[in-house]
Structure 1
Amino acid sequence: MVNQRVIRRLLRWRKWAKRDWAIAASAAGFAVIIFSLSLIFGSWTKRSSGHHPPDPLWVHLSLSENAKSRGAACLDGSLPGYHFQKGFGSGSNNWVVHIEGGGWCDSIEACSSRKRTPLGSSRYMEDEVKFTGIFSQELLENPDFFNWNKVKIRYCDGASLAGHHESEFKNRTQLFFRGQLIWEALMNDLLSIGLSSARQALLSGCSAGGLATLIHCDNFREILPNNATVKCLADAGFFLNEKDIAGHHTIESFYQDVVSLQGVAKSLDKDCVARMKPSKCFFPQEFINNIRTPVFLVHPAYDFWQIKNIFVPIASDPHGNWFKCKLNIRNCDRSQIEVLEGYRNSLLKTLSEFQQNKEGGLFINSCYIHCQTWMAETWHSPSSPRVDNKTIAEAVGDWYFNRNISKHIDCPYPCNPTCYNMDFTGHR
């Protein structure tokens, strides 16, 4: 079971963040509520400034050495950064590179607010973060990747590391839209400290970082040795282009503003952009089948972030009929569960072609959660969610090492007793 003390701390942070860290707002009424990304930050805690013995769980922040010369910068102009933990033994030449998530900003106002947070400035980032789950160095917690080199890329641009500086002329408040340059600078940093000799590598990311993983997956393959085994894992990064319950194109309108504001089009799949407007190519469903590098999707069919913000945003539920349901899926009545099952069916239909990809992998459980790879309790533990009696870590390992076909799709809610379903009741 997920540590409830951690969840309570996250929700206290969420109340502050909802008030002061507005990630996005648009005329269409879309608001990306940052508390729904709380799982991304669950392992963050400030370390004391006193002396303490080295702890492999806690990893220091490094600022990019290449960023300044390349013009790469967070939203506020500060240097981007990452946390690096060196591998050992048989994993010395293997790498897990993970991109942090944290939503997007779609307006000057939203990005200006964001630049005063760790999601827009390295000046506010923790000196150390805790490495667990897919980052863990414990064999029992992370059986396939425990001794690999691990990197956590900090996310500070608000456009899934895909913005371009040419779009900065639009802003009047000294914002830096340089996500693509951040990606390039950090990759050069990592290549210089050993990634260039990688034998095996996995690019992963959670939420907006999962989307960034899919956007940059083939480039990651291109910069590594030809004889290296390179694959990509997106955790809760497959955002559906679905109308909300009121029939509004809430997420599509929002993404259009993000892509337009930050000049994202240049980083998107060229074949996709050639056949439709760039903002639609920010949706993985429009380009995932063009990715040449093997991809694995970890995704909850009842992703609470997508349900709260894409499918049932506040503006489309003016009477609050879905309020209790969104706090806890167990509060949903039969008709609401049927509606959510329809959302699940849309996800599976959208992924039908990807399911036929022989090199692709899937772990779609029926849990009310968002992001499951960073924490031991949901990645690999006795109480972890399972599908076909596999934990997420086992399913990913089977796929990465070609041990077995790894396409696991859960039955509809509430069939899976191993799920950890988030409960926001009492934390409004």
Structure 2
Amino acid sequence: MSQPVPGSGPHRRAQMRRVVLSGLLGSTIEYYDFMLYGTVASLVFDKLFFTGLSPLAGTFAAFGTFAVGYVARPLGGALFGHFGDRLGRKAMLVLSMVLMGVASTLIGLLPTHDQVGNLAPTLLVALRLVQGVAVGGEWGGAALLTAEHAARRRRGLLTSLVQLGGPAGTVLSTLVLTLFATLPDEQFLSWGWRVPFLLSAALLALGLFVRLKVTESPLFSQVQQSNAVVRRPLVEVLRTPKPLLLACFVVFAATVSQALTSVFVISFGTGAGYARTDLLIGQLLNGLAAAVAMPLSAALSDRIGRRPVLLGAALLLGAVAFPVFLMVGTGSVPLMMLALGVLAPLPMGALLGPVPALFSEMFGTSTRYTGVSMGYQLAAVIGGGLAPLAGTTLLSAAGGHDPSLVALYMLVACLVSATAVWLTTETRGHDLEHTAAASQPEPLAGRL
């Protein structure tokens, strides 16, 4: 029997809508802020915070601060996972949203290197660390809170709406940034890039309004009532590391591809002669196409299983790796739009769609926040966080214009994910309460 939202009839449906909306809004806001940083880093941070460096060194430094956010994500996953499995999902999700909103707003207020010297990049890195910790706690909590409220037969589709926040946030940040990118360079560098960050304060208010109305997970409430909360969730997850490692590598290709086609490609495309606005439009199309693919693949996984959908998506994404980067490298705007707006994002979105449901079904309730968060965030740091740096290094090694090595890197990542999917047990239809009981660690003996 599946675990529905507590209550019945209209109340239950209304609460389910709130949970889904909260997850979608939360992940949209988190990824708006997180990906906005990546795009702005590729456009202006080398000029404002790392002055005096060569163009290549400045790009490395800007992408280095971008990577710092990814490095902090597993830390956020561990911290929020620990307290989310100990104290509850809702409180941690509210905290993650506040941290992200405040950090992003402060980035929009930062002085530049010309104004305060080395203090400027230091503050930038510190705020990027906070962003990483926040997003590390958001995704897993939002995904599993939705999964723990949802009926089993629609778990894939409903949890994919949380995943939809990734492209939705990317699209929103790109739309806002594109609006200000039309300013003359002097105005954009002076104040235009700041406004999208300052808008985070308004998004934070909206997100909190919805999230504070959501009820706690019914499955976690059962764990609390039965005194089955564990003292060290991360230790319990690491005692049987296979699910954690498989989760990490299942999503590895998607994190690599997402970073390459939404962050690295801005720098690469600028060098290939594309206008800034054309690249941002390509990024916008990228997010829209991924957003279409996610719920469709997730709904399909509710019918035929998680494994066949994920395996097909990983292999298809690998098959388009070379065409995507070779098309972008031509300097042709229509080919670039086709590559970034269709070829790359459709299989990437299809790979991401079933992931929240799969991950939620791989861990028991008492360690689910930790397991889900760490699995995804480890992939984010070794995949997405390093991908722009790796792409820049590989492109430079090939003479600065031939993206073949970058495409090969993406292809290898896809083969890694396909192998992980092949090794994963099918989880569609798993009873989350049964999963929790089957993997229940020893009860909590003490307090924090």
Q: TM-score, normalised by structure 1?
A: 0.27
Q: TM-score, normalised by structure 2?
A: 0.26
More strand by share: 1
More helix by share: 2
- Of structures 1 and 2, the one scoring higher in RCO (CA 8 A, sep 6+) is 2
